[in-house]
Structures are given as structure tokens and as C-alpha cells.
């Protein structure tokens, strides 16, 4: 009697293990626990393809940002920030084109829009 119970539990255990393993294999790739893929890198050429108010990327300080959603919230008029879309805007960002840096608050906002790193060193 005990032997039957033991065998029954063993079979049930291995069925459960197989079900969990099989289930994770069937899950869509995004939900599988895969090794962390390396962060995407973009070239200035990639960035340059996103140069409008409807699709605005900027490279700033060696990182790439997708800023389309932020543009309408920027305090300065669009004419100030739009020319930087699709470019390495490190200098424009660091000086506001007026020789004054953005605040730490601006830097924290910027971080939210980061999508990857720039593959080439940024211009100072």
C-alpha cells in the first residue's frame, strides 16, 4: 500500500516538473527568463533618421534619447529644441544654446527617455 502511494507521488511530482518546464518553453520569448541581452547601441546615422517633432531622437553625452513625447512639455519654444532632433545635441543640451546648463531636474527627466548608448564617442 505504502509503495503504491510512494510511486503515485513520485509520478505526480515528475509530471508537475515536466508541466512547469514545458510551460516555460511554450511561453512567448519575451516572458522567458533569458540572459540579459546587451544594451542597444545606435550610431549618429540611426539618430539622424529621427529628426522631426513627430519622431525626435537625440544623442546627448554618449547616450541616445527618444524625446518625441517630451517635446510638447519642454518649457522653451519648439524652435529652441527642434533643431536638435536627429543630432548629437550634447552641446545644445549642456548650454541651452545660451551658455547655461540644465538643472539636475532636467537631467532626471532626460533619463526617462533613454533608449540606448551612442556607438561613437559624443562630441564635447
* Interaction site with ligand HEM (CB under 6 A): 58, 67, 70, 74-76, 80-81, 84, 89, 92-93, 96-98, 100, 102-103, 105-106, 109-110, 113
Compute the least distance from the CB of residue 41 to ligand HEM, in Å: 20
Nearer to ligand HEM, 19 or 69 (CB): 69
In the chain, DSSP finds a helix count (H) and a strand count (E) of: 5, 6
Nearer to ligand HEM, 44 or 106 (CB): 106
Q: What is the largest CA-CA distance in the chain?
A: 87
Question: Would you call 63 helix, strand, or coil by DSSP?
Answer: strand
Compute the least distance from the CB of residue 45 to ligand HEM, in Å: 19
Compute the least distance from the CB of residue 112 to ligand HEM, in Å: 8
Question: Would you call 110 helix, strand, or coil by DSSP?
Answer: helix
C-alpha cell at position 81:
529644441
Report the alpha-carbon distance of residue 48 to residue 56 in Å, rounded: 9
Amino acid at each position: 500500500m505504502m509503495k503504491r502511494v510512494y510511486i503515485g507521488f513520485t509520478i505526480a511530482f515528475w509530471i508537475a516538473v515536466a508541466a512547469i518546464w514545458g510551460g516555460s518553453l511554450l511561453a512567448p520569448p519575451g516572458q522567458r527568463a533569458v540572459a540579459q541581452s546587451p544594451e542597444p547601441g545606435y550610431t549618429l546615422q540611426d539618430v539622424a533618421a529621427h529628426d522631426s517633432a513627430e519622431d525626435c531622437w537625440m544623442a546627448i553625452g554618449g547616450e541616445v534619447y527618444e524625446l518625441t513625447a517630451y517635446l510638447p512639455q519642454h518649457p522653451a519654444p519648439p524652435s529652441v529644441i527642434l533643431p536638435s532632433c536627429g543630432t548629437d545635441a550634447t552641446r545644445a543640451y549642456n548650454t541651452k544654446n545660451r551658455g547655461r546648463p540644465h538643472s539636475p531636474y532636467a537631467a532626471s527627466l532626460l533619463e526617462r527617455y533613454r533608449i540606448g548608448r551612442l556607438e561613437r564617442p559624443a562630441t564635447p
